[in-house]
Amino acid sequence: MQGFSGVQFGPGGGYVFLSDNGFGGRANSADYPLRLYRVGLMAKTAPGGTGRVEVGTFVKLRDPDRRVPWTIVNEASRERGLTGAGRT
């Protein structure tokens, strides 16, 4: 799993992380699928805690309804999965 660009509180006390744009740059990230990851963080504190991170399920970002107003890498596909390259 690559790095993350954003984080938000998720349902049930967890977090939702937005994956980074891919493999370091647009030019080499056309095949990197953008995703939202559900993550559980159990901090290790002085009085306790496990210090564990649990990566749960993910949601692939896609645009089957053609709402993205520019041409994307997967323009011709039915699912129109969004990638780290963004535009073509």
44, part of any domain: yes
69, part of any domain: no
75, part of any domain: no
13, part of any domain: yes
**Looking at the 3D structure of the chain, how many domains does it have?**
1
Give me the pLDDT at residue 31, please. Answer: 85
Instruction: Identify the domain containing residue 51 by its residue range.
Output: 4-60
**Is the separation of the CB atoms in 81 and 60 below 8 Å?**
yes
- Amino acid at residue number 9: F
Give me the pLDDT at residue 87, please. Answer: 66
Q: Strand, helix or coil at 10?
A: coil
Q: Which two three-digit tokens encode residue 71? A: 């041409």
74, part of any domain: no
Residues of the chain with pLDDT under 70: 1-2, 46, 87-88
User: Cα-flanking dihedrals φ and ψ of residue 16, to 5°?
Assistant: -120, 125
Give me the pLDDT at residue 81, please. Answer: 94
Predicted structure pTM score:
0.75
